[in-house]
Amino acid sequence: MSLHSPALTRRLLHVIALLCLAAVGIALISQHVFDMAPCAWCVFQRFIYIGIALVCWLGLSLGRMRPVLARAAAACAALLAVGGVLAAWYQYDVAAQMFSCAQTFADRFMVQSGLDAGLPWIFGIYATCMDARVDLLGVEYALWSLALFVVLAVLGAAAALDRR
């Protein structure tokens, strides 16, 4: 009998993936309904959210065959979320103070990947980081994203380390 509870890991992976898709959905509504143009770091964080969701759902699929793979996916999701924390912090603390975020890591990554041209309605870069600074309930979007990435990292770590 296993000391690990695969059901908890599966539930947490679903929750993580759904939170990520909700974050991207809110970003797209903000962009397309409320005309909040995203910067390179905004769309890079969308990429990370989508990557986390895909890793979680891949882990769920593979975890049916080998439960350890679900926990590995949770660990990978937690690491990606830490990367998201760093991206959101950089956007808030550094890039938002710059007149242009052109040629920063996020801008180069999104352009070189072709995602900005291939899927512009999700990954198009339409503003500088300074222009993309927007508050929601008195808190900058980048800080909301940072907080969500922290939550995702904690949930991912909990799913990866669960030993019930």
pLDDT digits (tens, 9 = 90+) for 89-110: 998 888 777 666 667 888 888 9
Q: What's the CATH code of the domain at 122?
A: 1.20.1550.10
The predicted-structure confidence for 56-79, as pLDDT tens digits, reads as follows 999 999 988 888 899 999 999 999
- Return d(Cα 94, Cα 74) in angstroms, integer: 29
Within a domain: 27 = yes
Residue 34 in domain: yes
> Where in the sequence is the domain holding 69, given as residue range(s)?
7-161
Q: Running DSSP on this structure, what letter comes out for residue 39? A: -
Q: Is residue 2 one of the residues assigned to a domain?
A: no
Given a cut of 70, is residue 5 above it in pLDDT?
no
Residue 75 lies in a domain: yes
Q: Classify residue 108: in a domain, yes or no.
A: yes
Residue 1 domain flag? no
Helices 6-32 and 141-161, axial angle in degrees (round to 10): 170
pTM: 0.89
Give the number of domains in the chain.
1
Summarised one tens digit per residue, pLDDT across range 8-52 is 889 999 999 999 999 999 999 999 999 888 888 999 999 999 999
Is 102 inside any structural domain?
Answer: yes
CA–CA gap between residue 147 and residue 57 (Å, rounded) = 22
Contacts of 123 (CB under 8 A, 6+ apart): 43, 46, 47, 110, 115, 116
Alpha-carbon distances, residue 77 vs 41, 45, 95, 116 (angstroms)? 19, 14, 25, 23
| Alpha carbons 135 and 83: distance in angstroms, whole number | 22
Task: Please check whether residue 21 lies inside any domain of the structure.
Answer: yes
The structure tokens listed for 71 are 């926990």
User: If you average pLDDT over every residue of the chain, what do you get?
Assistant: 87
